[in-house]
Amino acid sequence: MYNEILTIGPVTIHGYGLMIGLGVMAALLLGDYRAKKFGLVGDHIYGMTFSAVILGFMAARILFIITEWEGFILNPKAYLTGAGFVVYGGIIGGALTIYGFCKLKKIDMLSYLDLMIPSVALAQGLGRIGCFLAGCCYGKETESCLGVVFTNSDFAPNGVKVLPTQLFMAGGDLILMAILLWYASKRPMRGRTSMLYLMLYSVGRFVIEFFRNDDRGTVGMLSTSQFIAIFTLVVGVIGFTWFMPKLNQKGMKKSGNE
C-alpha cells in the first residue's frame, strides 16, 4: 500500500524489493538451521538458494512475458524493466536450478529439496506482503469489511475498495510453511514433503485466482496460474502416492545390493 518505504538522497527502498530480500534471508536462515538438524551441509544451502533465486526470478519474468506476449510485443521495454512475475515460473526455474546444483555437487537432490521447500513457502509469504505494499496482484472490488483501499499504487485501482488477495496469499503461504515443517518433522520418505507442497500450493493458488482482478494471462476460462495448477497438482499427487515410494524403494534395493 506504501511501496516507497524510505528515501535517502537518490536511493529509494521499495517495500516490494525489501520484502523479497527479507524473504530470501529468512529462507536461508531457516534452511541453514534445519540443515543441522537433518544432518545436511549448510554451505550447500547458500549456494543452492542464491542460484535458485537468480534463475528462478529470470524464469518467473520469462513466463510473465509469455503470458502477456501481446503487450510485450507492443511495449517490450515496459515488460523487461517493470514489475511482473509468474510465481510458477519461479518454482519451475528454482527446481531445475536445484536439480542442476545437486547434480554438480553430487548430493541427494530430494533430501535438499525437502529441506528447502518450507523455506520456499516462507519466502513466498513475505514476498506477497511486498505485493500488497506495491499494490500488484490485487483482488476484485468488494463492499465487505475485508476490503482495502489503495491510494498511491501504480498497479491497483486507487480509491476503490478491493479484496487484499496479496494478504490472503501471504497468510496461506505461511500456513503452508507451518504444515510442511510439521510434516517434515515426522521424517517422511524422501520427496514427499516437496510433493505435499506442490499439492497444497496448487489447490490454494487455483482457489485464490477466482478472487483476483489484476491483468494476467488466461487459458480459456482459466487464468494461466489456474491452468498450470492443474498440472502441478497432478504431478504432486502422482509423486506423493506412486513415484516417490517407488523411487525410495529402488534406492533401498540399490543400497542393499551394494
Q: Would you mind telling me the total number of residues written for the chain in this entry?
A: 258
Q: Is residue 232 part of a domain?
A: no
For position 82, what pLDDT does the model report? 60
Q: Is residue 189 part of a domain?
A: no
Check residues 35 and 85 and name the one with the higher pLDDT: 35
Is 90 exceeded by the pLDDT of residue 126?
yes
For position 171, what pLDDT does the model report? 98
Rounded mean pLDDT, 183-207: 97
Check residues 10 and 128 and name the one with the higher pLDDT: 128
Q: Is residue 8 part of a domain?
A: yes
Q: Is residue 82 part of a domain?
A: yes
Distance CA 18, CA 23 (A): 9
Q: Is residue 109 part of a domain?
A: yes
Give residue-wise pLDDT tens across range 203-228: 999 999 999 999 888 889 999 899 99
Give residue-wise pLDDT tens across range 74-125: 777 666 666 667 788 888 888 889 889 999 999 999 999 999 999 999 999 9
Q: Is residue 99 part of a domain?
A: yes
For position 169, what pLDDT does the model report? 98
Q: Is residue 149 part of a domain?
A: yes
Distance CA 79, CA 11 (A): 23
Whole-Å CA distances, 196 to 24, 177, 193, 205: 21, 11, 5, 14
- Put simply, whether the predicted model's pTM sits higher than 0.85 gets the answer yes
Q: Backbone phi, then psi, for 82, in 5-degree steps?
A: -90, -170
Give the range of the structural domain holding residue 101, as residue numbers without chain letter. Answer: 4-183
Which of these, 168, 150, 156, 243, lies nearest to 211 by C-alpha position?
Answer: 168
Q: Is residue 137 part of a domain?
A: yes
Contact status, residue 68 vs residue 85, Cβ threshold 8 Å: no
Look at the chain and report how many structural domains it folds into.
Answer: 1
Is 90 exceeded by the pLDDT of residue 13?
no
